[in-house]
Amino acid sequence: MRIIIAKDYKEMGKKAANMIASQIILKPESVVGFATGETPVGMYKELVNLYKLGSLETGKITTFNLDEYYGLSQDNPQSYAYYMHENLFKHIHIESSRIHLPDGMSTDIEIECARYEEKIYKAGGIDLQVLGIGRNGHIGFNEPDVKFEARTHMVELDQDTIAANARFFPSMKEVPKQAISMGIKTIMGARKILLLAAGIEKASAIYDAIYGKITPELPASILQLHPDVTMILEEKAASLLT
């Protein structure tokens, strides 16, 4: 595991964007797994900057997002599909057929999850998967006590996650309680993993993910077993490591 400490949020985003850019430049047809939430917003900005400077051609990449809220359609401003469009896809060259997120409006979840896994498989697997981390150590929406062997599936969000996500919604009752998420097995199948974390509230989860017991109680602890993980941590998120 490589751990890179960035002096602030902006530097974290820059370093992360550089790593994604290098992946795409060295393999233009890369399959990239993306995450949403507050943490990677700066990274997407930096990636868009690199694209606008002409340093990056994105037309051949294929993307798969980690997760989507259940019950939100793509045009709902709180959906992750909308987030990705606003933060990245509308700014770069990429055909919509190359963009994949679980369908939060699907009426047959099992079929939807199997379809998502098949698409990842047919694309050749994920070259580089970007992750954030929850305060409770979740990755994707794989909450504590997850089954490590699960692939894409429907998840019940933890109370802590619902509370954390509430900041993006007008009221608590609108915060979705369920999501479709890649499973730990899907994430661990990525050839490279890039995890970002910022803020003191992530420090304990980061410490446990790196030094703690490998346990479903802290889903990110499984990353200790992945052969190619880079963590780019803003100083406060890394503050318990030294």
The residues carrying an active-site annotation are: 67, 136, 138, 143
The residue (of 35 and 56) whose beta carbon lies closer to ligand F6R is 35
**Strand residue runs (E) in the chain:** 2-6, 31-34, 62-65, 67-69, 99-100, 128-131, 153-156, 178-181, 192-197, 229-234
Stretch of 29-37, 44-52, 71-79, 147-155 lying at the interface with ligand F6R (CB under 6 A)? 29-37
Tell whether residue 66 is a contact of ligand F6R (CB under 6 A): yes
Q: Which of 33, 42, 104, 140 binds ligand F6R (CB under 6 A)?
A: 140
* 3-class state of residue 99 by DSSP: strand
Among 24, 35, 99, 157, binds ligand F6R (CB under 6 A): 35
Task: Give me the least distance between CB of 57 and ligand F6R, in Å please.
Answer: 25
Q: Output the DSSP codes for 140-187.
A: TTB-TT--TT--SEEEEPPHHHHHHHGGGSSSGGGS-SEEEE--HHHH
Is residue 134 part of the contact set for ligand F6R (CB under 6 A)? yes
Of 24 and 131, CB closest to ligand F6R? 131
Single residue of 17, 139, 188, 237 touching ligand F6R by CB under 6 A: 139
Q: Kindly state the number of chain residues that form the binding site for ligand F6R, as judged by CB under 6 A.
A: 14
Report the residue number, 55 or 119, with the smaller CB distance to ligand F6R: 119
| Helix, strand, coil in percent for the chain, rounding step 5 | 40, 20, 45
Choose one: 53-61, 86-94, 103-111, 136-144; the region binding ligand F6R (CB under 6 A).
136-144
Closer residue to ligand F6R (CB): 113 or 139: 139
**Helices and strands: H and E segment counts in the chain:** 7, 10
Which residues does 170 contact at the CB level (< 8 Å), separation at least 6? none
Per CB under 6 A, which region of 86-94, 116-124, 131-139, 214-222 contacts ligand F6R? Answer: 131-139
Angle separating helix axes 9-26 and 41-52, nearest 10 degrees: 50
Binding of ligand F6R by 104 (CB under 6 A): no
Q: How far is CA 172 from the centre of its chain?
A: 23
- Which DSSP symbol is given to 74? T
Is residue 38 involved in binding ligand F6R (CB under 6 A)?
A: yes
Distance of CA 226 to the CA centre of its chain: 16
Cα 26 to Cα 124: distance, rounded to the nearest angstrom = 16
Binding positions for ligand F6R, rule: CB under 6 A: 35-39, 66-67, 132-134, 138-141
